[in-house]
Structure 1
């Protein structure tokens, strides 16, 4: 899974757990909704458990559930759980510092990217899993 899809899949996973209303849900069931391998989902769920967004219960009746109410989980919380480094590729940028452009491009990009990242994170902080769930409930007619 690419870094670009990891966040979107993460929102899908937590929205699915909200949809299940607190019921213990297996990684296989979640994977079916996402249409991916359960191993991929388990890796994401491990990050969510570490970030305290999801609880896990072991055993035959175990599974995963949200650790708090959907309105208390913002998209920014999810983003930070699965995308801990947000350098937009700057860490891999290796310009020629003898070139006038190469010597200055990093600082210019850092400032621009920092502004864009701040705006992005502000928007993510304003949307919760409850907001996503409300939109889904308006268009999802059946139970999965």
Structure 2
């Protein structure tokens, strides 16, 4: 499993929102220019972040802003917001390790206990 580019786009977007912090109105075009992607891509990511209450989006004067302080937003919050299709979680461990392998045997015990 690989974390999608939407994750890095989201981290860049949130870092820029925190950096600009009310210095100027932030739009999807400003974010897209900084990130180097199409504004439509940014708007799609922003929709996911908004649904997760990580950002606020206003058509008025305020533009796009963080919904809470940056130090209260975890990488896992971002991951869950943008990769909700993957219900397996961030990590997925292989399910059929060799029971004769010392590491595989421990993995099997983990699956039994879980």
Q: Which residues of 2 match residues 70-85 of structure 1 at below 5 A?
A: 70-84=70-84, 85=86
What SS does the aligned partner of 1:12 have?
Answer: helix
**Cα deviation, residue 62, structure 1:** 4.3
Which ranges of 4 or more aligned residues in structure 1 deviate by more than 6 Å?
none
TM-score, scaled to structure 1: 0.56
Q: Distance in 1 between matches of 2:38 and 2:3?
A: 17
**Are 2:99 and 1:108 aligned?**
no
Deviations 1:30-78 (A, max 9, x none): 000001111100000011110000001113x342100011111111110
Q: Distance in 1 between matches of 2:15 and 2:79?
A: 14
Higher helix share: 1
How many equivalent pairs are there? 93
Contact kept in structure 2, 1:26 and 1:62, CA below 8 Å: no
Q: Indicate the residue corresponding to 1:10 in structure 2.
A: 10
Q: Distance in 2 between matches of 1:37 and 1:3?
A: 20
Q: Indicate the residue corresponding to 1:46 in structure 2.
A: 47
TM-score, scaled to structure 2: 0.70
Question: What are the ranges of 5 or more consecutive residues in structure 2 without an aligned counterpart?
Answer: 98-106
Cα RMSD over matched residues? 2.6
